[in-house]
Amino acid sequence: MTELPLLIEPEILEQHLGDEQILVVDLCKADTYRQLHVPGAVFLDYGQIVAMNRPVMGLLPDDRTLHNVFSATGISRDTHVVAYDDEGGGKAARLLWTLECAGHRRMSLLNGGLHAWANEGHPHDNTPVTPASTDYTVEHNDAPCADSQYIMQHLDDTDVGLLDVRSPEEFSGVKKFAARGGHIPGAVNMDWSNAMDQQRNLRFRPDAELQHMLADIGITPDREIITYCQSHHRSAHTYIVLRHLGFPRVRGYHGSWSDWGNNPELPVE
Report the distance separating Cα 185 and Cα 193, nearest Å.
Answer: 22
pLDDT tops 80 at residue 184: yes
Q: What average pLDDT score do residues 81-99 get?
A: 97
The average confidence (pLDDT) of the chain is: 97
What mean pLDDT is predicted for residues 79-86? 98
pLDDT digits (tens, 9 = 90+) for 57-72: 999 999 999 999 999 9
- How much is the pLDDT for 75? 98
Q: If you average pLDDT over residues 226-241, what whole number do you get?
A: 98
What's the confidence (pLDDT) of residue 211?
Answer: 98
Separation between Cα atoms, residue 123 and residue 38, nearest integer Å: 7
Judged against a pLDDT cut of 90, whether residue 1 lies above it is answered with no
Q: Where in the chain is the domain with CATH 3.40.250.10?
A: 7-119, 145-260
For residue 112, which phi and psi values (nearest 5 degrees)? 90, -10
For the chain, the C-alpha Rg in angstroms (whole number) is: 18
**pLDDT tens-digit map of 33-64:** 999 999 999 999 999 999 999 999 999 999 99
Q: Which CATH number fits domain 145-260: 3.40.50.720, 2.160.10.10, 3.40.250.10, 3.20.20.70?
A: 3.40.250.10
CATH number, domain 7-119: 3.40.250.10
> Catalytic site residues?
229
- 90, amino acid identity: G
pLDDT tier at 114, thresholds 50, 70, 90: very high
Q: Percent of the chain having pLDDT more than 70? A: 99
**Entry pTM:** 0.97
d(CA 67, CA 63): 6
Cβ contact 23:81 at 8 Å:
yes
Distances (CA, A) of 136 to 73, 84, 91, 177: 10, 21, 21, 36
Quick one: three-class SS letters along 22-89? EEEEECCCHHHHHHCECCCCEECCHHHHCEEECCEEEECCCHHHHHHHHHHHCCCCCCEEEEECCCCC
Closest CA to 224 of 205, 201, 243: 243
Q: Hey, what amino acid is at 15?
A: Q
